[in-house]
Structure 1
Amino acid sequence: MHTKGVLITGLISAQLCTATDAFAFECSVSALQSYDIDGVTVTEVTATASGTPACLVDGTVITKGNNIGEGLAKFQIRLPQKWNNRFLMLGNGGLAGTVKASANTVDVAYANDSGYVTAMTDLGHTAESGLDASFALIEDGSPNAPAIADYYYRASHVVTNTAKAFAQAVYGESPGYSYLSGCSTGGRMAQVAAARYPDDFDGVISGAAFMDVSSMLKIQHFQINQLLADDAQILPNTLPVIQNAVMASCDAVDGVTDGMIQNPAACSFAPESLICDGADSDNCLTKPQAAALHTDDGRLVYPGYAPVLFDGGFSLFQGGSVSADDITAAEPWGNDGNPPAPIEWAFSDHIIQYLVMQDPDYNVRDFGIDADGTIPSDALAYFIKMTQDGNGSGLDETEAFFDQGKKMILYHGWGDHALSPFRTVRFVDDLARRKGGYDALSQSARLFMVPEMGHCSGGTGPDSFNTLAALENWVENGVAPATIAAEKLTEAGDVTRSMPLCPYPAQAHYSGEGDVNDTSNWSCPSAPSEVILGSVGISAGLLSAGEPTQ
């Protein structure tokens, strides 16, 4: 399927390129500025031979609309010498602030090699770090409404229209097909585009989506728990015992012991089983450490994380690599919440301060999240009110996108310690309930969960796969992806593991013979699959319906 999709796409590209094969345009600031596209200032133009030869156009565009004042977004638009009549918007990451893509790198390479016009943006503000939310306030402390709107939804839409206008000006026609590929905040951009601007794209790719800002509440819940006592923080020396216990409990649940957990939701790992009987050591957990790792259900605001890949990104995102200086302080690691604090402390700290409370000195520990995970209803309502414009999780709006015949591919690594993979699963579960089941939903959207992959990439799992070719084949040829071929590559490009990714809730099955690292010994089930849950999936709220924050 994967190979066939690429071949078919190649034939279509050749047909669409016929009219533009001989086209040449001047790759210079003066030439590109002369097209006089509304609100655009071209600042730099560079010829590149990376992928197909192309012209990289850097500039700014005035953002306006939505009854909000004007802003300014930076962009880079790639105009290939030979265009395939397609456009790809690339998502950004974190809190943005620089023109940088957070998208499936295989998708980006495929787009560059096959002749897409592509674009990316800083989402309407400048920052040295993707953890910096200070753009949300102006110097007098009042809200910077244009910059907030640009980050949440507007800048991506405006830059999308700008890139299409450049395509029309340079090639003499608008894109025949338009797509968006993004991960993390880029995944949120994909879902926001589908919900707010369904005419912008024929299909979108949402990877590990920061789909609703309410994820910050769950992140703060964990941080509060690991700062309850001096012996509660989950530091690197503690991780091997957790990782070993998780693998012992969960590796074989998918039918094969191969160092990979296919479906953590089916696992029943209990952190309490590791509590020290005697003196504390690196081979067991203190009671506060076990409590910090445990997720209870109830009135679910946001699901917890999968117990996967503790030897991967956990310290970077959640636990931190060093002890907090003062577990009772407003900024336990100092430095205004920045490193050496774990990334998720910094991210949630700054979002609550600048976007929610609009006070850079606000102590986020006063927001009301309790150690048991509860949060006062009025605090939750206020958080939603202040951040809902940035959410891409609206079910009604997403269904309306599908009703127009548009397509969505989602993916998420089970080992993601930045954004909960269970949130993506719940989103798809809720859509499936509305559509009458996963088979019905699969006509419009398919989710591919990636075993042992970290946040957007990395981890020990097969994190190299082409979602853009799959979406292209689905939109343009009506061939929905039955599987997506995935590989784990070394830095030298050698394949160390390959296997198919299956549309959720299916998971790949091992044949029982041959190398578990070889995709030829794995397959996706042909019959519909059921959701299989253990205590991990149940505590993540996969038995309940309805959006967690709505």
Structure 2
Amino acid sequence: MLQSSRVGMAQPISKRPDMTNRKTLLLFVLAAPFLGAGPAAALECDVDTAAAFDLPGVTVTAAVPAEDGAAACLVSGTVITQGGDAPDGAARFEIRLPEAWNGRFAMLGNGGLAGRVRASANHADIAYANATGYVTAMTDLGHEAESSVDARFALLPDGTPDDAAIADYYHRATHVVTQTAKAMATAAYGHAPQRSYLTGCSTGGRMAQVAATRYPDDFDGVISGTPFMDISSMLKIQHFQINQLLSPDAQILPEKLPAIQAAVMQACDGIDGTVDGLVQMPAACSFAPETMICPGADDAACISAAQAKALRAYFTALHTDDGQLVFPGYAPVLFDDGFSNFQGGKEPAADVTAAEPWGNDGFAPAPIEWSFSDHIIQYLVKHDPSFNVRDLGISPDGTVPRPVVEEFIARTAAGNGSDLAATQAFLDAGKKMILYHGWGDHALSPFRTTRFVDDLARREGGMQALSAKARLFMVPDMGHCRGGTGPDAFNTLAALEAWVEQGIAPDALAAEKLDDSGAVTRSMPLCPYPARAEYSGTGDVTQAANWSCTANTALLQMGSVGISAGLLTGGEPTQ
């Protein structure tokens, strides 16, 4: 759920110069011709010119040349947000107007609880949009904050809910800034965008799914990466946190992670038929934390009984106390990258019994997911900054009282993007959806995304029927949106563009792992779920040429991890 670098800054993209300028970008540029370039040479990049567009409710505050991609002007400002059964609010934006417009628009999703004009979208998508002449837009989702885990925007100074800011974060700002960007493009080039897309990851993935279900006419297709689709995922996060804070020896700290990672790889790496350092089938894994309990003195090679219990809780689904699935457990992947940052923490809690175990009002040094869930529960659900999340009644064994879930959903449903019926309606209108999620994500469970697609496929009459409208790509050993040891550089925007505009469905995504210099260290195809990449049995396992996508029923087999994660629980989650 962390936010990535703003589009207008060249450095984050230039560090990965070949990410989209390889075969994949070239093929898609040749396959998908421009829809129609605008007369950009006449566009002056200054505030007066941008302000002269005279768009209702818009105040332009800056206009500067872009520092990356094709020549473009970055227009910044604010827009009044209206509608959505909420008072008027305001959202900041940055809109990129290229000199040579290709006739397309892309909204770039934000991350976390937003608060700054930044994009969480796939870096390859951003680079592709900038290089090929998209108009793009970003927003702060209607409030200002220095931290992406700060939910204080949700309450007014008198302690009552700020309904305008909440509506903007949940759904409204995305819609209004989308309309503003389209209007600005029309004013600048003389015609409206001919195709519109949204690409985002984490909260940006939620933005994609909320746009599809609440404002289906805004986009021709959306990319939902690592989606924060259900805000009630915060309850599952607290289920794990309760367990790792049961006692001082229960917290899973960095010194234990190498041993946990080694045990996981021993149990899970080869299940897909190839020992290659990647876990492609975590649901079929039967990793048992209890086998790591120290038989004698504590050391880095083993874990305490309390830590084993906490780790077991991490993989275990959260249910209501009458048995309905609330949220799946996590996958046992990539403990050596991301777990401490998001879940376990980098240092011991100062007081495991305190309402804020790490102090500092729930901010760092608390792990990100403690901060994120703590603030959402306090400010967006309970409307009480002093509320102790332990008082929700979540049990260590993985149940939560149904009234707690019902209250949570009532307060946050407007921000959810997991409405299956509304998603179907979007897809039935001829729109397309690409989803992706890293198996090594420690912020949001990848099993929630596979469960969403499974439930959607069941409604559609099977995965084959769904694949004509939506496809999910699971990424081995990728962390939250990016990072990890797996191939995390791939272009979903070009794939969506080709699918919407030419009817070319993505049978695979070419994915690469790049080092800090931009050199490719690994490549492989990402396959449409439930297919997976299969090694040919010969050649270098780090080369895509030795892998192919194959139909995969084995992925649907369950080991103890998949069973504990709730993947066999009947019915749809309580969202």
- The TM-score, its normalising length taken from structure 1, stands at 0.97
Q: Which residue of 2 is the match for residue 183 of structure 1? A: 201
Residue identity matched to 1:40: V
Provide the identity percentage. 66
- Whole-angstrom distance in 1 between the partners of 2:25 and 2:427: 22
Note if contact 1:5-1:473 (Cα within 8 Å) is conserved in structure 2.
no
Q: Any idea what SS the aligned residue of 1:179 has?
A: strand
Preserved contact between residue 531 and residue 550 of structure 2 (Cα < 8 Å): yes
- For structure 1, list consecutive stretches of 5 or more residues without a partner in the other structure: none
Question: Which residue does 1:211 correspond to in 2?
Answer: 229
Number of the residue aligned with 1:455: 480
Distance 1:8 1:384, change over 3 A: closer
Contact kept? 1:465, 1:487, Cα under 8 Å:
yes
Matches within 5 A, 1:62-461: 62-294=80-312, 295-297=315-317, 299=323, 300-461=325-486
1:9, 1:473 within 8 Å by CA — same for their partners in 2? no
Cα gap change, 1:291 to 1:528, in 2 (>3 Å) = closer
Structure 2 Cα separation of the partners of residues 467 and 219 of structure 1: 28
**Please, which of 23, 27, 30 is the counterpart of residue 7 of structure 1?**
27
Mapped partners of 1:22, 1:202: distance in 2: 24
Q: Does 1:16 align with 2:25?
A: no
Q: For 1:524, what is the secondary structure of its paired residue?
A: strand
Does the residue aligned with 1:83 lie in a helix, a strand or coil? coil
Q: CA deviation at 1:262?
A: 1.1
Q: Which amino acid aligns with 1:80?
A: P
Q: Shift of residue 546 of structure 1? A: 3.4
1:317-352 alpha-carbon deviations (Å, 9 max, x no partner): 000011010000000000001111100110000000
Distance 1:379 1:244 in 2: 38
Correspondence for 2:11: none
Pairwise CA distance, 1:12: 4.1
Shift of 1:6: 4.7
In structure 2, give the amino acid aligned to 1:13: P
CA distance in 1, matches of 2:31, 2:256: 53
1:367 touches 1:379 (CA, 8 Å); kept in 2?
yes
How far does residue 280 in structure 1 lie from its aligned partner after superposition? 2.2
Partner amino acid, structure 1, of 2:169: Y
User: Which residue of 2 is the match for residue 498 of structure 1?
Assistant: 523
Task: Map Cα deviations across residues 115-146 of structure 1 (whole Å, 9 max, x no partner).
Answer: 00000000000001001000000000010000
What is the alpha-carbon distance in structure 2 between the residues aligned to residue 269 and residue 5 of structure 1?
39
Is the 2:284–2:555 Cα contact (8 Å) retained in structure 1? Answer: no
Helix, strand or coil at the partner of 2:302: coil
* Cα distance in 2 between the residues matched to 1:87 and 1:345: 36
8 Å CA contact 2:329–2:565 kept in 1: the answer is: yes
Q: State the Cα deviation string for residues 424-447 of structure 1 (Å, max 9, x = none).
A: 011001001111111111011100
Of the three residues 56, 59, 80, the one matched with 1:41 is 59
SS in 1 for 2:229: coil
Q: Which amino acid aligns with 2:509?
A: I
Determine if the alignment matches structure 1 residue 508 to structure 2 residue 530: no
Structure 2 Cα separation of the partners of residues 274 and 405 of structure 1: 51
Matching residue's letter, 2:447? F
Deviation of 1:16 after TM superposition, in Å, equals 2.1
Partner AA of 1:493 in structure 2: G
CA distance in 1, matches of 2:294, 2:35: 67
Give the whole-Å Cα distance in 2 for the aligned partners of 1:366 and 1:254: 42
Which amino acid is the alignment partner of residue 191 of structure 1?
A: Q
Moved more, 276-285 or 157-166: 276-285
Distance apart, 1:28 and its partner CA: 1.1
Q: How far apart are the structure 1 equivalents of 2:268 and 2:553?
A: 23
Shift of 1:544: 2.9
Aligned-pair distance for 1:8? 5.1
Q: What is the CA distance between 1:533 and its match in structure 2?
A: 2.1
Residues in 2 aligned to 1:289 and 1:326: alpha-carbon distance in whole angstroms? 17
Q: Structure 2 unaligned segments of length 5 or more: list them.
A: 1-21
| CA pair 244-451 structure 1, distance change in 2 beyond 3 A | same
Give distance in 2, aligned partners of 1:12 and 1:376: 52
1:61 offset after TM fit, Å? 0.1
State the shift of 1:67 in Å.
Answer: 2.2
Secondary structure in 2 matching 1:464: coil
TM-superposed CA distance for 1:21, in Å, is 5.4
CA drift at 1:9: 3.8
Offset, 1:260: 0.9
Deviations 1:204-246 (A, max 9, x none): 0000010010110010011100000111000001111110000
**Alignment of 1:522 onto 2:540:** no
Question: In structure 2, what is the Cα distance between the partners aligned to 1:502 and 1:330?
Answer: 44
1:57 is aligned with what amino acid? Answer: V
Measured in 2, the distance between the counterparts of 1:133 and 1:304 equals 25
Residue of structure 2 in register with 1:58 after alignment = 76
> Structure 2 vs 1, CA of residues 402 and 528 (structure 1 numbering), >3 Å: closer, same or farther?
farther
**One-letter code aligned to 1:205:** I
